[in-house]
Amino acid sequence: MVTRAAVQTRGRAREAGYAFLGEAPERPWWRAYHGHTSFEVPTLLVQSGEQGWDIYLSGVPSTRRDAVGSTIRFTLVLAGRPEDADAALALVTAWLSDLGANGAVLAAALDEAFPEAQVERLLGALGPEGREEAQRHLLDAVASLTAAPAAAAVSEASEASDADAPPDWLADLTDPQARSAFLARASDVLNGGSGRALLLNLVGAPADVTALLEDPRPLAVLGVDLDEPTGFTELTRIGVPPGKASPPRPRPAGRGRATGRRISSLHAALMPVALVVATVLAVLGILLWQR
């Protein structure tokens, strides 16, 4: 089941800032992708976690406007378990479909669930009660995505396949096959598999996601305006798997003993010199004392 759902947006007032309705999630896990995506621009993150799955969507445009006429955006953060995978996949598919076809299915569902008067009220309703009310409205919006007429926007999820995709890959958002493979990876994660399906807007080439390969979970990435947007680019993992230190290199046999012998030989060679120096200093000391 969906164990946590949170909505971030802002009100109309000029001085208003973006805030979560009620309470912010306790664990801001999405910040790990800072530098790979701008959260103000459309982003989609689906990943497996210890207790199930996590979803983050941002940059969803509302029809609401702020005091100077700028578009107000929604950010959604959800956590759940495999038994609620269908509803979660509908949410992911709706946002991905909107981005691929310049649609507004998800935005329309959120605007209906969060009209301006309600948003303004919930922005002032801090604490668990405000969070729980916002969560109920968000889950209602998610449920609406599986019903007509929104079903047309999510129908491709049931046909998604990643049979031609490597375990770790990068592709362009505009590629229909890549979007299908992305949904297949997201479906696997939501149904209990280990992995990540990420739409990152600051990624242009494989080198931009090298740091993400330090995580052992399989990785599927959709980028925007890739340098080479054709087909899947397989991402190669190089180096030691995370959590495993390199084993110590065995010391050559006899190396310690040889080093000890060299030190002993040097010590023996310097002993006569030290004795001569000590004798000279002693004689000089006696002569100076007699004067």
pLDDT at 256 over 70: no
Q: In this predicted structure, what is the pLDDT of residue 2? A: 72
Q: Is the pLDDT of residue 268 over 70?
A: no
Would you state the pLDDT for residue 221?
A: 98
Overall number of domains in the chain: 1
In the predicted structure, residue 276 carries a pLDDT above the cut 60 = no
Residue 168: what pLDDT? 96
pLDDT of residue 270: 45
**Among 188, 203, 199, 184, which Cα is nearest to 60's?**
199
Count of C-beta atoms within a 10 Å radius of residue 208: 18
178 domain residue, yes or no: yes
Domain containing residue 120? 2-234
Q: Is residue 274 part of a domain?
A: no
More confident residue, 244 or 104: 104
The residue to which tokens 């023996």 are assigned:
268
With respect to residue 266, please indicate whether it lies within any of the assigned structural domains. Answer: no
Judge whether 33 and 57 are in contact, CB under 8 Å: no
In a domain, 282, yes or no: no
The pLDDT value recorded for residue 22 is: 84
User: Taking 80 as the threshold, does the pLDDT of residue 96 lie above it?
Assistant: yes
Residue 245: pLDDT band with limits 50, 70, 90: very low
Whether the pLDDT of residue 43 is over 90: the answer is yes
Instruction: Please determine, for residue 277, whether its predicted confidence score (pLDDT) is greater than 70.
Output: no
Confirm whether 68 is domain-assigned: yes
**What mean pLDDT is predicted for residues 105-134?**
89
User: Considering the domain boundaries, does residue 119 fall inside one?
Assistant: yes
Predicted confidence band at 109 (pLDDT cuts at 50, 70, 90)?
very high
100 pLDDT band, cuts 50/70/90, is confident
Domain assignment present for residue 249? The answer is: no
Can you list the alpha helix ranges (DSSP code H) found in 42-157? Answer: 85-101, 105-113, 116-123, 128-144, 151-154
Give the pLDDT mean for 229-256: 57
Mean pLDDT value across the chain: 82
Please state, in angstroms and rounded to a whole number, the distance separating the CA atoms of residues 88 and 190: 7
43 or 120: which carries more pLDDT confidence?
43
Q: CA-to-CA distance for 11 and 121, rounded, in angstroms?
A: 9
Place of tokens 């790990």: 32
Sign of the Cα torsion 158, 191, 44, 181 reads negative
Q: Specify if 245 maps to a domain.
A: no
pLDDT at 290: 54
- Is the predicted pLDDT of residue 132 greater than 50, yes or no? yes
244 pLDDT exceeds 70? no
Q: Which helix (H) or strand (E) holds 159?
A: none
Name the token pair of 29.
């896990």
Q: How far apart are CA 109 and CA 138, in angstroms?
A: 9
pLDDT of 65: 94
**Residue 159 — pLDDT band, cuts 50, 70, 90?**
low
Contacts of 171 (CB under 8 A, 6+ apart): 165, 177, 178, 181, 182, 221, 222, 223, 226, 229, 231, 232, 233
Upper half-sphere CA count for residue 101 (Cβ side, 13 Å): 16
Q: What is the pLDDT of residue 260?
A: 40
Rounded to 5 degrees, φ, ψ at 62 are -100, 160
**Least confident window among 132-141, 227-236, 251-260, 266-275:** 251-260
67-76, 129-138, 253-262, 279-288, range with the lowest pLDDT: 253-262
Rounded average pLDDT over 190-200: 97
Mean per-residue pLDDT, 99-119: 92
Residue 284 has pLDDT above 60, yes or no: no
Report which of residues 149 and 128 the model is more confident about: 128
Cα–Cα distance between 40 and 180 in angstroms, integer? 25
* pLDDT given for residue 193 in this prediction: 96
